[in-house]
Amino acid sequence: DTAVSQTPKYLVTQMGNDKSIKCEQNLGHDTMYWYKQDSKKFLKIMFSYNNKELIINETVPNRFSPKSPDKAHLNLHINSLELGDSAVYFCASSQQRGGPIQETQYFGPGTRLLVL
């Protein structure tokens, strides 16, 4: 009973293709995130959804589009894949209550994307 799951775990594709990564959490959390870990190993936030509403949208090319069909799912669709999109993408979730305390974010195992 994995808390945050991602599919697929590995994704190898050609430049120019469109692909999706799926994320599901069974923790009952109201906030979900997408992070990208690049070749320099920095984890950078891309998007955050709270109750299916987009609340964080970092400077990400508009080829990346998140979709949240419900609170338990946050999918990431990438159009026209480029070589520089190769990275590990992590999904996370938390129960945000506001205020100064940052609620613990629970991460999925990551999706390793390789664009050839």
Partner 1 sequence: DQQVKQNSPSLSVQEGRISILNCDYTNSMFDYFLWYKKYPAEGPTFLISISSIKDKNEDGRFTVFLNKSAKHLSLHIVPSQPGDSAVYFCAAAAGGTSYGKLTFGQGTILTVHP
Residues that bind partner 1 (CB under 8 A): 4, 31, 33, 35, 40-45, 48, 50, 55-56, 90, 92, 94, 96, 98-110
Q: How far is the CB of 20 from partner 1 (least distance, A)?
A: 19
Query: By C-beta, is 69 or 98 nearer to partner 1?
Result: 98
Residues in Cβ contact with 89 at an 8 Å cutoff, skipping those fewer than 6 apart: 6, 21, 34, 35, 36, 37, 76, 110, 111, 113
What's the min distance (Å) between Cβ of 15 and partner 1? 25
d(CA 36, CA 116): 18
With respect to partner 1, which residue has the nearer C-beta, 33 or 64? 33
CA pair distance 68, 54, nearest whole angstrom: 9
To partner 1, the closest distance from the beta carbon of 114 in angstroms equals 15
